[in-house]
Structure 1
Amino acid sequence: MNTKFPLLTCIIATTVLNGCAVTTLKEARETDPWQGWNKSTQSFNDSFDKHVLKPVAVGYLNVTNKAVDDGVTNFFSNINDIGVTINDILQLKLLQGGMDISRFVINTTAGVGGIFDWANKIDLPKHNEDFGQTLGFWGVPSGPYLVLPFFGASTPRDTVGLIGDAFLDPLTYVSIFGGFVGSAVTAGTSALDVTDYRAGIMTSEKVVNEASGGDRYDFIKNSYLQHREYLIYDGNPPDEGDPLDNDESGTGDSGKTGSKVKDKSGSGKGL
């Protein structure tokens, strides 16, 4: 999971829904106990994006060409492959883990620190695995829908996943052990990463606004929950009509270990 800021859901919508209407999931049909908090936080996040993130992203696009933008994207994607590989192993996906560590080695060396994605050109595609998915794989229920300040759409399980992902990010340790210089470098690279990510989904914003049909909160919630279930089961979620495939808590996917064979190619930047 890579939910870096409120409009993460733009890319969720275009990637998962692909222009189609959202299918309401079991999670979305359940009571939304934190709706008051969620809506006020979403409003705050939207305001922050409108007045801070989006203007910075527009400026970034104005001063960089496609080659530079792609290089920045590839660089952070390469760092992310470390965490992806570890989560592959934690989910017992050893073959995919071998592919992802190979991606990292090839792109770090031949790709000049990950600036060029040569691995993708030799059929080693980018995968999307995070610690939130790993928790779901081992049966941790998602819990109710939750909107986090700055990070946007989430659940209690994915919130814990964010913490796990931070420990799998090498930049975290640069910040901790690098002193003032390390902290400054990490802050700068993180800001660049968020800016690059926001710029990358600029064209998706209009799609989300139009597809929401005036109910942006429910659209984002449904899209996020559907997308997370899709990732955990790699496109093969359990049949909602089968009670053996649903968790007893009624708050989300069951994440049963080994319940589905996972095999997906993933895409670009992680979610």
Structure 2
Amino acid sequence: MKLVTITRSLLRSAAAAALALSVAGCATTPATSEGETTVNDPLEGPNRVVFAVNEAADKVVIRPVTEVYVAVVPDPLRQAVHTFIQNLMSPLYIANHLLQGNFEGAQLATGRFMTNTILGLGGIADVASEAGLPEKPADFGQTLGVWGLGSGPYLVLPLLGPSNVRDAVGYGVDTLGDPFRIWTNGVGQDGLQWGRTGASGVDRRSQVLREIDDLRRNSIDFYATVRSLYAQQRDAAIRGSSAPANPEFPEFPEYNTPAKK
């Protein structure tokens, strides 16, 4: 019954989302002469300002906290945190796969949720992956893209990072329909929701510590690189490819930094 309620809530929100996107002029991303997609970024000036603020917050607070987390917390416990957070998100993944008409994805997400909840001690142990059920998230921004809605202008959101009008609306719908958020609000335990949000942010940042450092060091324009990677990853997800939840960062060669005298 909870899944049905969440699905109906998402469907009711879809009309409002579509209206918001049409008002914002959600055209599909234009194509270059070589057939590659380019990013619609008419707000590049303000976006770069927000990007710079996010970069400062990451360098001063988020990355140092994540480094301590990685150094202090052993790998098995970090994996347990990741699995538990993903398990809490599973009802939303199931609902979005259903809304996309991806019944195989919905079956997979349901299998993971049931396996890890029952056999994985409430989602702490990733028994599902060991049983051959890989992680495949789905969000409402992706759902809107599957329905044929264009991305709209590229956006950089405070702390949340790269996005676009469609995905920002999708994030809002997912937040409103999040069963964990609904439950914590209902029982007056908003602190649990904030705790999960913080843990989720550190968990996601820990997955790409080296990759982001490499991108910063090797990118001529880090803003443009992140923008391109985000657009490619979202486009691949909407096309139904097997792209992972995090962007697939390019590999960079290792450079030996001269020792300071």
Q: Normalising to structure 1: TM-score of the pair?
A: 0.74
C-alpha distance in structure 2 between counterparts of 1:86 and 1:46, whole Å: 33
Within the candidate set 136, 139, 146, 1:127 is matched to 136
Amino acid at match of 1:225: A
Q: CA deviation at 1:27?
A: 2.9
2:231 aligns with 225
1:38 aligns with 47
Amino acid at match of 1:202: L
C-alpha distance in structure 1 between counterparts of 2:35 and 2:214, whole Å: 18
2:107 aligns with 98
Distance 1:71 1:81, change over 3 A: same
* Identical aligned residues as a percent: 31
1:215 aligns with 221
- 8 Å Cα contact 1:42-1:147 kept in structure 2: yes
For residues 1-271 of structure 1, what are the structure 2 equivalents within 5 Å? 25-28=36-39, 30=40, 32-179=41-188, 182-212=189-219, 214-235=220-241, 264=242, 267=244
C-alpha distance in structure 2 between counterparts of 1:49 and 1:89, whole Å: 35
Q: CA deviation at 1:269?
A: 6.6
Distance 1:24 1:219, change over 3 A: farther
| Residue-by-residue CA offset, 1:84-108 (whole Å, 9 max, x unaligned) | 1111100011122112111101100
C-alpha distance in structure 2 between counterparts of 1:54 and 1:70, whole Å: 18
Distance 1:111 1:270, change over 3 A: farther
| Residue-by-residue CA offset, 1:141-186 (whole Å, 9 max, x unaligned) | 111111111111000000001012213322211332122xx11121
Output the aligned Cα RMSD. Answer: 2.1
Q: CA deviation at 1:122?
A: 1.6
Q: Which has the higher contact order (CA 8 A, sep 6+)?
A: 1
Unpaired runs of 5+ residues, structure 1, are: 1-22, 236-263
Q: CA deviation at 1:47?
A: 0.4
- 8 Å Cα contact 1:99-1:124 kept in structure 2: yes
Q: CA deviation at 1:113?
A: 1.1
C-alpha distance in structure 2 between counterparts of 1:140 and 1:267, whole Å: 22
Distance 1:270 1:205, change over 3 A: closer
Larger Rg: 2
Q: CA deviation at 1:207?
A: 2.5
Q: CA deviation at 1:223?
A: 1.1
C-alpha distance in structure 2 between counterparts of 1:221 and 1:270, whole Å: 11
Unpaired runs of 5+ residues, structure 2, are: 1-33, 249-261
User: Runs of 4+ in structure 1 displaced over 6 angstroms?
Assistant: 268-271
1:15 aligns with none
Q: CA deviation at 1:211?
A: 4.1
Amino acid at match of 2:37: K
C-alpha distance in structure 2 between counterparts of 1:46 and 1:172, whole Å: 28
